[in-house]
Amino acid sequence: MSRRDLLENSTLPEPLIAIIGGSGLYSLLEKSETRWIPTPFGASAPTELGEILGVPVAFLNRHQSPDREVTSSHSIPPHAVNYRANLFALRQLGVRYVLVTTAVGSLREKLPPGQLVIPDQLIDLTQARASTFYDGTTVFEIEGKPVSGVAHIDVTNPFCSTLRRILLAACKELGFPASDLATYATMEGPRFETAAEIKMLRLLGADIVGMTLAPEAFLARELGMCYAACSVVTNYAAGLVNTPITHEETLRTFKSRIDQVHKVLRSAIQNLPPTQSDCNCYSVWETATQD
């Protein structure tokens, strides 16, 4: 399906920017209309098209079932999210910048609950997720060009340097302390980790732990999109405290910072460059090694 078909009858311009929300963060568009976008990788979550401060933005709730209206529901666990369909749908809409939010557990005493974190590195410890578009069999189109086979994408720095700089600048301008150096470890979920697993992650160099950034960040790079995350520490990870970890606790802490997250995203959106000229996210995709 062409971009023109996807945006047919829409009164809104093509979005260059997308926000992917998760636990505790749902639609923040000022006005919106919903699209259900088919992809070669299955159905994506419903995508809202709207505006934030006059800027065209797409919003996608990664935990939303494809067959439902956009709501605040958490109906799909992180290990079952169709990450490929979600990212491909956004690319089809014309999105080049992807800002995402996540709730994370802290592995370090210096990152207490409530802390904002803009991670700079990523460890993928997931087990059963479709993690690439280039599976050697699926044929699809990007920018009107057929793509198939196998590609090897450089993800030395998995988060876009330009988006990270803009997010950090927004936090500083707004007076919200944010950690700018943190490694995010992605676990399969949906259960929380054991104390032994957290000890292992600390030894590996991880600073925060969550369940969603992989393969999401890698898939964005495979499509030439800039990608960065604004994470909120919602709890200390297993073994660092003596109290049980609950989903309700993570939501409660995330919601206590929801206003800060909204302000950071709004500020960042106002300062994104009109083209992907300040980083290599698009060029890495263009020049990927293919077999």
Q: Which residue has the higher pLDDT, 269 or 148?
A: 269
d(C-alpha 206, C-alpha 182), whole Å = 7
| C-alpha separations of 269 from 35, 71, 135 in Å | 21, 23, 33
pTM for the model stands at 0.92
pLDDT, one tens digit per residue, over 104-146 is 999 999 999 999 999 999 999 999 999 999 988 888 888 877 7
CATH (domain of 115) = 3.40.50.1580
d(C-alpha 226, C-alpha 105), whole Å = 24
Q: What stretches of the chain adopt beta strand conformation (E)?
A: 17-21, 32-35, 38-39, 42-43, 47-52, 55-61, 97-106, 116-117, 121-124, 140-142, 145-147, 151-152, 178-179, 183-186, 208-210, 226-236, 289-290
pLDDT of residue 278: 83
Domain tally, the chain? 1
Phi–psi pair at 197, nearest 5 degrees: -65, -40
Bridge pairing between strands 47-52 and 140-142: unpaired
Domain boundaries, position 273: 3-290
Could you tell me what percent of the chain has a pLDDT over 90? 67
DSSP letter assigned to residue 80: G
DSSP letter assigned to residue 276: S
pLDDT, one tens digit per residue, over 56-93 is 999 999 988 887 655 555 689 999 999 999 999 999 99
